[in-house]
Structure 1
């Protein structure tokens, strides 16, 4: 039987992002990353036909779709028009694939000053001002394309190295006390003892230990020398603003084991992760309890409940194909839950989504 992935992540369209004038491009050595090539929306077969025959997937092969989550795309240009909840960015570069893009401004969109990272209001932005924005990654197929803005950087001085907005994918500590942050913007930043670490809009004191996979940061780095050339220490962070952590924790998972927030979990042989039908299967109780949650049995519904304090986060039946969230919404699982030797397993993708954790690549 041809096994297929039950769910595919589909972007509305794929477009290249805007390129802007030479002055700011020279001040920012990072290459503007185009929006990813389109996913057609077709169901992608795990098994590939060879000579007309379907070759079954290997027992050790699996895909974690959340590891391929697209990062916000950086675009920049001039604010051609500013409306109540929209900004139209226009580019004078003839090589730009699209001459303009419309940014939707939602209640969660942050508008920050390029110099100090402090919040600005939409009315603080002037027409024809140069802006950097992190959007999407989905865009409409209209002309100009429309995308939701996650963060906008404004108030940019001339010849200023614009900070980079990114989510941390991994943290590596060096023997010299330095820390290297791998980010979803295809650039690594080195944190040294000279780097200033600032929490966003709080007076708390933070250290490098607060920077973990899933942390969103705004990073100022020594990007260029006085003559406009890229500096040798371009990846060294001068200042980092860390935003409130949005995940319940971060998880590393594979056939070799499972760790939560950097701590490897002790698993019995019955609790060991395994691959099935292209999914990585993980033990529900072990992961949930490592996050501080409690597993309860509901005799009335014959279901499993994952509880945080007095709140039911989600519930499901053993060997069921659906899950009910705490707000009463029912949705289909990536794959039916499995009970093996008294241990309940769910796919890694289901546990990542239900527990709102960051999966480390």
Structure 2
């Protein structure tokens, strides 16, 4: 059945097998490569996703192996970063479906259930990342500002329950995505597309849902990260000084700064572009040409945000000295197996020994005191 672009949606809400027949969306069916959005959907997005898969999957699998087999002592931050890495890895394992879809000229052949699952999983992963980065910031805040109280508020059992609550909450927050995901048949062809709720012309459901997710899943975490970061830095500045041979203060500053940078670079532009794309449809429902710039910005943000899965392993490295040591050690062993790398490995080892000897002969510079090791 071929559906014209002007057919009312209310008269065509039918289910024919795995294909829901709805008024087709121009964003998915019009693949004129002289326009910006089709170029991004057909070429830029699959290229980004494929690059992220090639780089991110080995890094995250290696990180999981370090967490499970090399780390002897787990702190609260270790648990949160492990869950963040687990979310990244799960999304990367589902990414080949989207790569295949975009490389196949937006022709979805895998049925409605898998289409709903892929769209829902992308949304679910995004807020998993936000919530776990927020948990890391709150954990550092409690360890610095309220070190004794943090042992009661976030003990081992409470930390595990909080991680489970985050997974359940993000799953509940993503269920409406499955209800708004459709498979449509483009007019004049048998090509079926897996729609994205942000690019649907009708905004009665998508607009309130997107705003709700932006407030609950982004604005509140953003305020929490800013509050925790500012108060943690202020507390560190007002503390007495003591020796800090392992540069814990520097690593804490890096972790707090990284959380703020991640929110600024990845999450804020994504939510602004997503809401703009939906609002433009609500304000100009009969003018698809007015949606093009907002749609293009959102599609580019989808590409850019996928890079977050490659950044998280680096985030894990400066969260913990033990993780960084094991992570770098694995790369050193891998490179040492190459004939050309053996000389460089020996030089690097001698350099490290020389630096350690010099550090042992030098005096220790006092820095600001840090929270108790058990935090």
TM-score range, shorter chain: under 0.3
Give the TM-score normalised by the residue count of structure 1: 0.19
Larger fraction in strand: 1
Give the TM-score normalised by the residue count of structure 2: 0.19
Q: Relative CO higher for 1 or 2, CA cutoff 8 Å, sep ≥ 6? A: 2
